[in-house]
Amino acid sequence: MKLIILILSALFIKIDGRIGRLEEDDFTEINWVHCGERPLIHHDSPHKIVGGQESLKGDWPWQIALTYNNRLICGGSIINSYWVVTAAHCVYSSLDPSRYKIISGLHDTNAHDSFTDIKSVSKIIVHPGYSNFGYRNDIALIKLSERLIFNDYIMPVCIPDLTFNLTNQDGIATGWGSQYSGGPISRYLMEVELPILSDTKCKEKYQSVETTTAICAGDNGLNIDTCQGDSGGPLVVGYESDHEHKRDDEHDHDHDHDQFFLVGITSWGYGCGDGGVYTRTSAYKNWISEIVKNN
């Protein structure tokens, strides 16, 4: 029988063949000590949507599917056990919480797993500066009606601050969006690795973009991109954290990164295949913190 191990005040226990984390986060805050961890990370995953590939089950545990009237419309990211962040344009047309559901631990849209969790929504908060014209401040927060229980397949992502360096970085975007412009959504969660452009190159490509609140990822001619249906989903960058924590021996994989940070939220672009624009989450960290704390 699996031993129960107490490590750094976190309790782990074997449940149905996986490690269930019984510790709870503080749902009035973001950036829990275990945020951005991928307990089931596959060291043989190529890490290479349009031009992407199917992800491995459980690889991106903060990814959620946002449904409206039971139809998948967008992605999003778990930031704590009660809150999800997505793009404002995903929810702006209807702020009625009863019409939405959040699905976490989802891989195959046609076949839910035992760890897949569906929650109702209690509150939707769109950034007050959001504009449909140019998708400025394209960010919204969704509060769940019930608390998420974190495990290997459901975990929050970290939110970076303004000091997070994106120079010469590649990000990984995930979602169930179309694999070509105008196509159907993907059955399986897809992933794609995208180069993050400098602010100068971003402005050259999209003159209307305000680079203090948005970033560009992907570029012309690469044929790798996010597409319709990926909106609101995560663009993450890995970072080797300086805090020490251990995992159960069975999950002692070769991690490329200790933590992943949500640097962008899929927002908009011209067609699919030549890159796009993402909401720069570091610019909204204080706003996110205030909403989560006071609601």
d(CA 49, CA 265): 15
Asked whether 57 and 113 are in contact (CB, 8 A), the reply is yes
Among 199, 147, 138, 142, smallest CA distance to 168 is for 199
Query: Which residues, including other chains, have CB under 8 Å from residue 13's CB and lie 6 or more apart?
Result: 2, 4, 19, 20, 22
| From 25, 34, 59, 89, the catalytic residue | 89
| From 25, 59, 138, 230, the catalytic residue | 138
DSSP, collapsed to helix, strand or coil, labels residue 232 as: coil
| From 55, 186, 231, 282, the catalytic residue | 231
Host H or E run for residue 81: none
Task: Order the strands of the 10-15 sheet from edge to edge.
Answer: 5-7, 10-15, 18-21
Q: Which residues of 20-57 are buried (b: 16+ CB within 10 A; e: fewer)?
A: bbeeebebeebbbebbbbbbbbeeeeeeebbbbeebbb
Give catalytic status of residue 89 as yes or no.
yes
Q: How many Cβ atoms sit within 10 Å of the Cβ of residue 17?
A: 7
Give catalytic status of residue 98 as yes or no.
no
Residue 90 φ/ψ, nearest 5 degrees: -75, -25
Host H or E run for residue 90: none
- Residue 34 CA neighbour count, 13 Å, CB half: 28
DSSP, collapsed to helix, strand or coil, labels residue 176 as: coil
Asked whether 154 and 81 are in contact (CB, 8 A), the reply is no
* Active site amino acids: 89, 138, 231
